[in-house]
Amino acid sequence: MGSKKKTLAEKADKFLCYQKSVQSPEHEVDFFEQAFRDAYGKKPYTLREDFCGTFSVCCEWVKSNKKRTALGVDLCAETLQWGRDHNYSKLKDEQQQRVRLLEQDVRKRNRPQVDVLAAQNFSFWIFKTRAEVIDYFRAARANMKSEGIMVMDMMGGGDCFIEGQVDKRKIRKGKKGFRYDWKQASYNPITQDASFYISFSFPDGSKLKNAFEYHWRFWTITEVREMLEEAGFSGSHVYWDMEDEKGNDLDEWAKVENADSTPCWVCYIVGIK
Ligand SMILES: C[S@@+](CC[C@H](N)C(=O)[O-])C[C@H]1O[C@@H](n2cnc3c(N)ncnc32)[C@H](O)[C@@H]1O
């Protein structure tokens, strides 16, 4: 009996699909540089990527400058291993020597301290109480140099509170392409508990349904800035994604105090030590 031909979903690598859909490490590195320069008027060299997953940002960081070092921190051995096999392995020997990984909780304190501490893709939303977030922010602050910044991304807007809302994005056209769906599955207005699922669909009709799932508290910018202050940060800034008059994305981030209430937005919060 001939073996059944595998579907595209069965052949797919969920981490590779994730990376292609969700991450843009070059963009992150540019933003870290911009925010650090704004804060201290100089170039940053040391990065700690909390919740680093497959640590693609660490890898991009050491590629961007010969003096740069990166530390990736994540609890999940499987995800870190995927990063070693697919991202780290593509670096030159000399670049590899400048990346260090720790399989541990992000709330641990480590040395040496860093210029930029990044916690990307809303990962700290896993902490659902103020006490837990402030505890994490205190540890993060301790892991930063006296001239250091903490960078987090945030999302919001009315659409984020619509249960069942799906953001469908086609990654690449043609046979090899796949579709990425970010589903806002549930939102509880009383507790701010929210569940999100990432699925991928392929041209042969097969699916990697709920390849990734997140059960988070939906924090607001105001709350996060207040918690940074409580954790000892001297200040914080919000950077908004700029658009031209026609609403086209300019791929520029500007420090702002007011923004339009659009249905769906992402921004960065930068904590200043
Ligand atoms: C949403 S993913 C983000 C991955 C990556 N930072 C990105 O930008 O795409 C969250 C990651 O955080 C890790 N994680 C969750 N809780 C953690 C904790 N307390 N300490 C360390 N890592 C944790 C998970 O293993 C997972 O890899």
pLDDT in tens, 177-199: 889 998 889 999 999 999 999 99
Q: What single letter denotes the amino acid at residue 187?
A: Y
Q: Is the pTM of this model over 0.85?
A: yes
Using a 6 Å cutoff on CB, does residue 22 contact ligand 1?
A: yes
Q: What single letter denotes the amino acid at residue 163?
A: E
Flag whether 264 is in a domain: no
Q: Is the dihedral of CA 51, 55, 57, 62 positive or negative?
A: positive
Q: Whose CA is nearest to atom 6 of ligand 1?
A: 52
CA of 126 from ligand 1 middle (Å) equals 9
CA of 72 from ligand 1 middle (Å) equals 10
User: Could you tell me the CATH number of the domain that includes residue 26?
Assistant: 3.40.50.150
Using a 6 Å cutoff on CB, does residue 51 contact ligand 1?
A: yes
pLDDT reported for residue 162? 87
Closest CA to 85 of 61, 56, 106, 57: 56
Using a 6 Å cutoff on CB, does residue 74 contact ligand 1?
A: yes
Structural domain for 139, as ranges: 16-152+217-235
Using a 6 Å cutoff on CB, does residue 87 contact ligand 1?
A: no
Could you report the average pLDDT of every consecutive run of 10 residues in the chain (273 residues)? 79 92 91 98 98 97 98 97 97 98 97 96 97 98 98 92 81 73 92 94 93 96 98 98 82 92 92 98
The pair phi, psi for residue 181, each rounded to 5°, is -120, 125
Residue pLDDT, tens place only, 109-143: 999 999 999 999 999 999 999 999 999 999 999 99
Flag whether 244 is in a domain: no
Domains of the chain: total: 1
Q: How many CA atoms lie within 13 A of 183 on its CB side?
A: 14
Residue 158: strand, helix, or coil: helix
Question: Would you state the structure tokens that stand for residue 190, as one six-digit string?
Answer: 């009383």
Flag whether 163 is in a domain: no
In degrees, rounded to 5, the angle at the alpha carbon of residue 43 between the alpha carbons of residues 39 and 44 is 85
